[in-house]
């Protein structure tokens, strides 16, 4: 029989759960939208953080471009009830994504999450 040696505290983690520091950093990827996502994507090498950073870049970068296009096309006419509801939904999504990342969950948005996972590797 082989004797099992206990793992040292410095041994790499074998579980798929992110480290506590990565959870603390991953939610920052959403804090200032695509800007913090881009910074963390370029700086961090951890796959969990890079996934959330890329998801932030794709989601909030895309929304930023869409907002510029709509504003330049329709100007202030768009700032009515419909746009306010969309902004409220984006705000709720922003908070949900930050909470999920802080809890260490790999919360994938439809389509965007798949792309983020693929491009974060």
Angle, alpha carbons 110-121-96 (nearest 5°): 40
Residue 64 has a pLDDT of: 87
Residue 24 has a pLDDT of: 77
In a domain, 69, yes or no: yes
Query: Count of alpha carbons within 13 Å of 97, Cβ hemisphere only?
Result: 29
User: Taking the model in full, what pTM does it have?
Assistant: 0.72
Residue 10 has a pLDDT of: 44
In a domain, 108, yes or no: yes
Residue 45 has a pLDDT of: 83
In a domain, 9, yes or no: no
Cβ–Cβ under 8 Å, residues 86 and 63: no
Residue 54 has a pLDDT of: 92
What's the average pLDDT block by block, 10 residues per block, for the chain (121 residues)?
A: 46 51 81 89 88 92 85 66 77 92 89 89 82
Domain that holds residue 94: 20-120
Residue 92 has a pLDDT of: 94
In a domain, 40, yes or no: yes
CA distances from 24 to 31, 58, 105 (A): 12, 21, 12
Residue 120 has a pLDDT of: 83
In a domain, 13, yes or no: no
Cβ–Cβ under 8 Å, residues 53 and 41: yes
DSSP state of 9: T
Residue 5 has a pLDDT of: 47
DSSP state of 108: P
In a domain, 14, yes or no: no
In a domain, 71, yes or no: yes
Residue 71 has a pLDDT of: 74
User: How many domains does the chain contain in total?
Assistant: 1
In a domain, 7, yes or no: no
């Amino acid at each position: 029989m082989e004797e099992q040696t206990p793992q040292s505290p410095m041994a790499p983690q074998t579980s798929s759960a992110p480290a506590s520091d990565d959870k603390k950093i991953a939610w920052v990827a959403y804090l200032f939208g695509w800007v913090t996502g881009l910074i963390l994507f370029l700086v961090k090498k951890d796959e969990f953080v890079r996934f959330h950073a890329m998801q932030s870049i794709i989601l909030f970068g895309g929304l930023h471009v869409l907002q510029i296009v709509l504003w330049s096309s329709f100007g202030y006419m768009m700032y009515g009830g419909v746009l306010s509801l969309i902004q409220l939904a984006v705000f709720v999504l922003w908070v949900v994504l930050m909470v999920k990342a802080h809890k260490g969950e790999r919360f994938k948005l439809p389509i965007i999450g798949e792309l983020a996972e693929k491009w974060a590797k």
